[in-house]
Structure formats: structure tokens, C-alpha cells
Amino acid sequence: MLALSRKVNESIMIGHDIEITILESKGDQVKIGISAPKTVPVYRKELYVQIQESNKESVNNVVDVKAAADLFK
């Protein structure tokens, strides 16, 4: 992991097209702004983990179409 120090209104570039800017710092909270192309999804980590878990559950719950069709014969 790379750890960088930044002050308010300073930025970090990721690649050529993602910019992270420090907007505000109060106590133990930091507000950041993220500029990225619309094709790049940006999620809070806890939401990203929740999406991944939901996707795994969906894969595990795939219905066997042939077996379902056999039920209706």
C-alpha cells in the first residue's frame, strides 16, 4: 500500500484519468472528491464487498433449467 500525505485542495492522480482531491478535513473525517471516467465504477468498500457477496449468492442460486423443465412434464 502506498501512503501519501495531502492537504486540502491537493490531489492524487491514478493513471491518466482518475484524480482524487482532498476537499475537507475535520477531526477524524476526510472528504474526498473523485474524478473518473463514467466507465470506471467507484464504490465505498463496504458497498463493493456487499455487491460481491450478492453476486456470489446469485451464482450459487442459479436454477438448473433442464431440471426445472423436467418438473413440469
Q: Is 20 exposed, middle or buried (0-12, 13-18, 19+ CB in 10 A)?
A: middle
| SS3 track for 17-49 | CEEEEEEEEECCEEEEEEECCCCCCCCCHHHHH
Contact 19, 35 (CB under 8 A): yes
Helix, strand, coil percentages for the chain (3-state, nearest 5): 30, 25, 40
Distance of CA 59 to the CA centre of its chain: 19
Whole-model pTM? 0.69
Please give the chain's pLDDT, 73 residues, in tens: 999 999 999 999 999 999 999 999 999 999 999 999 999 999 999 999 999 998 887 777 666 667 767 777 7
